[in-house]
Structure formats: structure tokens, C-alpha cells
Homo-oligomer: A and B are copies of this chain.
């Protein structure tokens, strides 16, 4: 694999985690399985110096081949990428905040459809990710697991018979697996029931975060739910238990939408209508505002309130209104104010075309 010099080719695709799935993507936007693995007898990335990290990266990259990933691969050496390109990878959910912020010796391998990727030297030596639109954890685990098996034949993973996979952070010890689902919960949020819902989820030892993962807040009524502990259960058991909760959450949101339509039909229509009106005609939009209005647009599409506006247009906007994507698109490094102006211009244009 020859390292990529920039991420421009990625921008020609809609990102995998938002691409249209066949069905059932109206509340569960995307699912993700991530496996954490470390090389035995090698210090964790956080306690390794840059040289040691580079050696690890070389070992892992040479163990990977396209065949094992089932498609053409791209390699990014993070320290050689321009900062804006690293942000693009973050916005496309291919790299974590921590990974982007500590690029020394870090590398990213991405399958061309972006559904499979491997962060090398994030918190652990390997973070293998399978991501897809919709609610499909079992399938994602199957494909991540198959790659994990192939890699294990070439790399010696740190594994303890009693504990399972050893990881940098104790919460990942065990299966090393984290399952997460990104949910769009506008009705639970608008009806003020999201607080109690999140409390309930937390009691089940699941974490609820904003759309950009750890430390991020609710933006645009998106919530990322993930399992917290991975010890003492098999991957299948975790996914089984976790999926049952997600199923329930999807039902909660679906019922909240029906109830809102019954009890405050015009309040709900107003949320959708204003969202469209503002995105269609505003000349300045902050990122957070845009996400909130896109949530209204998406709710309207789910409810078939628009004749011609489709999910693909909303997804394109979701991706491209983000700071780094916006700057790549315009070809300029922009100040906050100019980003707000360009973001509004993009929304006006796409929604004029999309209607």
C-alpha cells in the first residue's frame, strides 16, 4: 500500500456511515463495531515514543493486505497529512478526535467504500472499525471478526486466557469490542423525554454521547449509544443485549413521533417547516444551528412531508456542512464567520436544487 498524500478522492463519495441503506434508516442512522487489539510484548501507544509507534505501524501495515479486507485499501500516514485532511477523516467518522490530535506514528487504513477501516496507534495498536448505515450490528461484527481472524494469523495479539484481549483502557479489556449505534431522536428530545431515557440507558451500563463520540454533546438530536463493559460476556451476548435496548429506543422514538403528531401536530410540523425555511433562505448558519435544522429536515423526510426532498440530499448536507468539508469544498481556509456564510450558501443551493 502506497500512502495517500491527501483525502481529496474521499470527497467524491458520500461517506459510508451516511450512505443510503435499503430500509429502516429513519431512526438508527448508522451502526458501528470496533475491535481493540494490541501487539503482545509491545508498549501501548500512549507509553511508546514516536519511533516505537512507527515500528508498530509498519508491522501492522505489512500484515494487512487488500484481499483480507475484501476491497481496495487506502493508507494515510497521519503525520504527513495536512491538518485539514485529518479533520476530514474525523468528520467522516474514520478517525477519532484523539487519533487526529496525536498523529506521530499514527496510520489509518480505509477500504474504498469507507465501511471498513483500521486506526493504527490510537489508544490501542489496532482499532478495527466496521461501520454501515442503519441498524446492522450482527453483520458488522461478522465482517470485523473475519478480518480480525486473518490479522491474528500474522500478528501476535496480547491476550490473556482469563481476561481476554488486553487493552490500553481497562474498560475495553475482554472482548475489546465496542458496539455503537447513532440514533436520530428528535421527538424524544423535543418532547423533553430524552433526559429520562438517557438515565435509563446509563443504568443498563450503556453510554450515550453526541454524534462525534466521547466528550461531544447532543447536536442536531443525534445520540451515539454504545456498550460500556466488554468483560465476562461473549461478543454475541453483548450484541444481543445491546440490540434489544436499541430496538426499544427505536420504538420509544417512533411512539414519541406518533404522540407528538397527535398531541401537538402543528408544533411538530412547525419544527420541520421552520427547519426547511431557514436552511432554504438563511445567509449565515453556525454548524450547530445547521445540524439542528437538518434534524428537522430529516424528520420531515422520514414522515414523507416533502414531495421532492430526499434522504440523500439531507445526508449530503450533513456531511458537507462540517467545518473541514466546507473548507475543502470551497478550496479555502475560512474564518468562523465565512464558514457560516458558506454553510448557508451551500444549504440554499442544495435545497433549491433538491425541491
Contacts and interface: CB of A to CB of B under 8 A. Distances in A.
Contact of A267 (B266, B279, B284): B284
Interface string A58-100: 0000000000000000000000000000000000000000000
A266 B284 CA distance: 7
Interface of A: 266-267, 269-270, 273-274, 276-284, 340-341, 344
Copies of the polypeptide in the assembly: 2
A54 to B, nearest CB: 46
Contacts of A344: 266, 270
A87 to B, nearest CB: 24
Nearest to A348: B273
A78 B270 CA distance: 38
A266 B283 contact: yes
Contacts of A284: 266-267, 270
Contacts of A340: 266
Contacts of A282: 270, 273-274, 277
A137 B282 CA distance: 38
Contacts of A281: 273-274, 276-277, 280
10 contacts: A266-B340, A270-B282, A270-B284, A270-B344, A276-B277, A277-B277, A277-B279, A277-B281, A277-B282, A278-B278
B266 A274 contact: no
Contacts of A283: 266-267, 269-270, 273
Contacts of A276: 277, 281
